[in-house]
Amino acid sequence: MAASSLSLVHPSPMMAVVGLQFCTPHIMALTFTKKAFSFSGGDFIISDAKGTVLMKVQGHVLSFSPCRVLCDAAGTPIISMRIKPFSLHQRWNVYRGDWKDQRDLIFTVKEICMLQLKTELDVFLARNTTEQHCDFKVKGSSFEKSWTLYLGNSNTIIAR
C-alpha cells in the first residue's frame, strides 16, 4: 500500500465509541507493556510517553470463558472483552464496564484470517447487526509491535 494513498485523520465530529473521556484531539503515543509475571497470561499496562499508567488490562485467558477487562488507572472497569464461543472465526464481544448484560454490547471484533502472520480484524459496532461492512478495520502485527486503525474498509487511518 503506497504511503501517498493513506491519510491520518480524526473523524469530524470526534467519534467516541466507548466515551469522549478516552478521545484526544492530538496524537498521543501509548506504550503497551505485558506484565512479566502474570498467571492469567493476559495482563498489560498502558502508559503515556511520560510513563504515567493510564489503563490496565486484566486477563483471564486460561479460564473456561476467556475474557479481558480494560480498567482505568484506579482499577475501575471500562470495557470487558469476552471471546464468543462456537464461532467460525475468532470473535470477541466487547461490553461496557464489567459485563452484566447483552444490552451492554458496544462492538464485536472478528478475526479475518487465522492462518496469517499479520493480523486483520473487522470491528462492527453493536448497531451494525447485518455486519455487511465493518465500521473499523485493524491491521498489524504483535511481532512488529505495530497496529493501524482504519475507518471502515477505507484507507483513512484514524489511529496508529
Task: Report how far residue 74's alpha carbon sits from residue 18's, in angstroms, rounded to the nearest whole number.
Answer: 18
Length of the chain: 160
Task: Report how far residue 153's alpha carbon sits from residue 150's, in angstroms, rounded to the nearest whole number.
Answer: 7
Query: Domain-by-domain residue ranges, the chain?
Result: 28-86+93-100, 112-160
Domain 28-86+93-100, CATH class in plain words: mainly beta
Tens-digit pLDDT profile for the chain (160 aa)?
333 344 445 555 567 788 777 777 777 788 878 766 555 556 788 888 899 998 898 876 555 567 888 899 998 999 998 887 766 668 889 999 887 778 899 999 998 866 667 888 999 999 999 999 999 999 987 777 778 889 999 998 888 8
- C-beta separation of 79 from 95 below 8 A: yes
- Other CB atoms closer than 10 Å to residue 94's CB: what's the count? 22
Helix or strand or coil: residue 73?
coil
